[in-house]
């Protein structure tokens, strides 16, 4: 079975400091991996995706993530947090790359303090 673990349910950082949101996955195949962001009362927005190309993936709004197969991890980072980054972040795995199912992690709520 495929699953996604987000190690922190809540992360709090100060504005201008780095962000690290952790994600580990389990999959029987070489998966596609995604990070989505959900702002309050808004839809899910794709931040970035990994689909077996470069292991370091750059996304929108300065976010990036690194796929590490040996660690089955796909952690999301940003060098400098902005107040507008405060939201819920979901790590998502597509286990077989054929788009048949997207398995979501439980989410990490990011708070950014002034």
Partner 1 sequence: DTGVSQNPRHKITKRGQNVTFRCDPISEHNRLYWYRQTLGQGPEFLTYFQNEAQLEKSRLLSDRFSAERPKGSFSTLEIQRTEQGDSAMYLCASSSDTEAFFGQGTRLTVV
- Residue number with CB closer to partner 1 (34 or 78): 34
- Residue number with CB closer to partner 1 (8 or 15): 8
Which of 37, 67, 107, 112 is close enough to bind partner 1 by CB under 8 A? 107
Tell me the β-bridge partners of 45.
Answer: 37
- Residue number with CB closer to partner 1 (3 or 17): 3
Instruction: Give the span between the Cα atoms of 24 and 67, in whole angstroms.
Output: 10
Does position 104 bind partner 1 by CB under 8 A?
yes
- Residue number with CB closer to partner 1 (95 or 112): 95
Which of 3, 12, 30, 97 is close enough to bind partner 1 by CB under 8 A? 97
Q: Using CA atoms in the order 16, 19, 90, 87, what is the torsion angle rounded to 10 degrees?
A: -20
Residue given tokens 């309050």 in the structure block: 40
Instruction: Give the span between the Cα atoms of 110 and 70, in whole angstroms.
Output: 27
CB of 23 to partner 1, least distance (A): 12
Please calculate the CA angle 110-112-114 and round it to the nearest 5 degrees: 170
Does position 46 bind partner 1 by CB under 8 A?
yes
**β-strands 87-94, 108-113 pairing:** antiparallel
Where along the sequence are the contacts to partner 1 (CB under 8 A)? Answer: 32, 34, 36, 42-46, 49, 51, 90, 94, 97, 99-107
């Amino acid at each position: 079975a495929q699953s996604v673990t987000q190690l922190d349910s809540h992360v709090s950082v100060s504005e201008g400091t780095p962000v690290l949101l952790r994600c580990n996955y389990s999959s029987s195949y070489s998966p596609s991996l995604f990070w989505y962001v959900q702002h309050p009362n808004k839809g899910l927005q794709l931040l970035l995706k990994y689909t077996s190309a470069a292991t370091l993936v750059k996304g929108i709004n300065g976010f990036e993530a690194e796929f590490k197969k040996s660690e089955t991890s796909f952690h999301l980072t940003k060098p400098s947090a902005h107040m507008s980054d405060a939201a819920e972040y979901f790590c998502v795995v597509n286990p077989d790359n054929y788009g048949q199912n997207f398995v979501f992690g439980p989410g990490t709520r990011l708070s950014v303090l002034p």
